[in-house]
Structure 1
Amino acid sequence: MKVKKQKRHRRAVRFFTACFGFREPFKVLCDGTFVYHLLANQITPADTALANTLGATVKIFTTRCVLAELKSLGESYSESFNAACNLITARCDHDKRRSAVACITEVIGENNSEHFFVATQDAELRKKMQEIPGVPVIYALRNSLFLERPSGLQHQFAKAAEEERSHMTKLEYKMLKKKKKVAIEEAADASDANESDVDHMLDTQVVKANIKRDRTNVKDQVRFKRNKAKGPNPLSCKKKKTNGKKRTDGNTNASSEKESKIVDNTTRNGSRKCKRSRKSKNVTEATV
């Protein structure tokens, strides 16, 4: 049974978080009957018990009218009054004390803008809260806490809200029209620019084709060659002597002259020596 109860509570919490924007930590608005039941059945601490049922952290609230009502009930509810004083007080802006049912309904309002979970044991208040969309109700049975399933009215309201979200508002429709106009104008400008570019390209291609045709016509015509003056036959011309060759020739001539001189000198010297030697021999023979 505990597993089924937890699944049911998770589904209800997901419904309210997805369709009505409830966020952690969840705010729970308690009346005097709920506080009294928690103390009588020893469901303490209250924040941990509520956190286990909702599956998230919790902040517990009450109103000044609820505190005044508990105080007026006497000593039998003094313990619950002291426990309620430790809770966070929500603003109710009532100068005169009102009943807890009227005060909580005014605090919740038509749309429950503060996203309160209402915790009560009062059957009348539970029925009123089920008629208001986006108000989850918590109640207790003996030692356990329960979260009521979303009513049929709350499901219908959630579906209608989803349909409204899917449809566009007037402002969104106007903005979409403006964007379409701007997109059409930009597309028209781009197409004009592309057409002008294409025309320019076609014109250039036509001009190039005409130029090519003119050239082909000129080539087809007969051309007479003129006799130009020609240079001398390169085979009949002498080769030009470069400076390097001249220098080399001069060097070779000088070296050859030197070699011839050296040869003459050597021959002369040799002949002279021979003559001297012969003279000396003749002189020796004569003396003998």
Structure 2
Amino acid sequence: MRVKKQRRHRKIVRFYTACFGFREPFKVLCDGTIVHHLISVKEPVGNEAFASTLGGPVKLFTTRCVIAELKRLGASCSQSFQAANDLAVARCDHEKRKSAVDCILDVLGDNNIEHFFVASQDVELRKSLREKPGVPVIYGLRKALLLEPPSDFQRQVVKSAEEKHLNMTELEHKLLQKRTKIGMGNYTVNDDSDKLESLGDRHVESQTLTMSNTRQNGLGVKDRPQFKRKKAKGPNPLSCKKRKNHASQAHPVNQVSKDGDNGSTKKTRKRKRSKKGIKAGETVS
């Protein structure tokens, strides 16, 4: 079960790092409820518990309004107050102390520029944070800390942002129109509008193709997979016969014939005689 939980947390952290730019060390903004919960279950309020949940180094933060709220609660939250004082303080710039929920929402803003993970046990705060883009939420369950998966609203924000990147902006559209006008500068204004539109479309298509080719070539990416053609190779030299020396065959060594002519080039064969038929005492003539 623990392995499945760690795998799920890694997947959620990867989503926020890829889509919203969260980086290590991760910043965790704690309110008084999560601090009080950890103390009640006798868990240390430190970086180790959150680091094991997020799978990376962590730095814990709180606000002055949260500390002031814990102080107002009295002796019942004295240990939580002391533990919150040991955390780093995030700047909230509130002259009059607000509630912890309002203070945390003001620190996060609309887009969570500081990339805070929010740790809280407040159900209403967690519901409101699901409607903010790029705000991951951590909550405690007994002695474990759990990371909430991204809400449907956050996933929709990421999807719409990707669609915007795929389409042209107004500035890019104006630049493209200017380039098409420059490309069609050789044609007169009195030409038919249909011809101009067709030429403009052709120019835009060719221009986009050339731009894509230059970008891909600049990045070292090829448009199509280029397969190497197999060239005809020579024969294996080890399987071939040795080359004959024609010069030695054309002019063989001159041998003397029986007639004594030095110019003749006849080859003489030696006759081997066997000694089987020779009787003892007879001499070979």
Give the TM-score, by structure 2 length.
Answer: 0.62
CA distance in 2, matches of 1:142, 1:11: 23
Letter in 2 for 1:84: A
Q: Please identify runs of 4+ aligned residues in structure 1 that moved more than 3 A.
A: 175-185
**Which range is displaced more, 167-176 or 99-108?**
167-176
Matches within 5 A, 1:74-93: 74-93=74-93
Contact 1:71 1:81 in 2 (8 A): yes
Q: What's 1:157 paired with?
A: 157
CA distance in 1, matches of 2:184, 2:10: 50
Deviations for 1:116-156, whole angstroms, at most 9, x for unmatched residues?
Answer: 10000111111011111111000011111000011111111
Q: What's 1:14 paired with?
A: 14
CA separation of 1:52 and 1:182: change in aligned 2, threshold 3 A: farther
**Which range is displaced more, 100-109 or 173-182?**
173-182
Contact 1:62 1:87 in 2 (8 A): yes
Give the superposed CA RMSD.
Answer: 1.8
Q: What's 1:128 paired with?
A: 128
Contact 1:38 1:46 in 2 (8 A): no
CA distance in 1, matches of 2:89, 2:179: 50
1:179 Cα deviation after fit: 5.2
Matches within 5 A, 1:1-288: 1-44=1-44, 46-178=46-178
1:5 Cα deviation after fit: 0.6
1:17 Cα deviation after fit: 1.1
CA separation of 1:180 and 1:42: change in aligned 2, threshold 3 A: farther
Question: Aligned pairs, how many?
Answer: 186
Contact 2:29 2:62 in 1 (8 A): yes
Sequence identity percentage: 62
Deviations for 1:223-258, whole angstroms, at most 9, x for unmatched residues?
Answer: xxxxxxxxxxxxxxxxxxxxxxxxxxxxxxxxxxxx
Letter in 2 for 1:66: V
1:165 Cα deviation after fit: 1.5
Contact 2:112 2:134 in 1 (8 A): yes
Deviations for 1:55-86, whole angstroms, at most 9, x for unmatched residues?
Answer: 11111110110000000011121111111111
- The SS at the match of 1:4 is helix
CA distance in 1, matches of 2:33, 2:83: 12
Q: Which has the higher helix share?
A: 1
Letter in 1 for 2:130: Q
- The SS at the match of 2:62 is strand
Letter in 2 for 1:155: R
- The SS at the match of 2:27 is strand
Where structure 1 has 5 or more consecutive residues not aligned to the other structure, the ranges are 186-288
CA distance in 1, matches of 2:181, 2:162: 29
Higher relative contact order (CA 8 A, sep 6+): 1
1:28 Cα deviation after fit: 0.5
Contact 1:69 1:100 in 2 (8 A): yes
- The SS at the match of 2:111 is coil
CA separation of 1:123 and 1:134: change in aligned 2, threshold 3 A: same
Give the TM-score, by structure 1 length.
Answer: 0.61
CA separation of 1:184 and 1:2: change in aligned 2, threshold 3 A: farther
Deviations for 1:178-197, whole angstroms, at most 9, x for unmatched residues?
Answer: 45666778xxxxxxxxxxxx
**Which range is displaced more, 164-173 or 72-81?**
164-173
Contact 1:61 1:88 in 2 (8 A): yes
Where structure 2 has 5 or more consecutive residues not aligned to the other structure, the ranges are 186-285
Larger radius of gyration: 1
CA separation of 1:101 and 1:54: change in aligned 2, threshold 3 A: same
CA distance in 2, matches of 1:177, 1:42: 67
CA distance in 1, matches of 2:89, 2:67: 9
Letter in 1 for 2:115: H
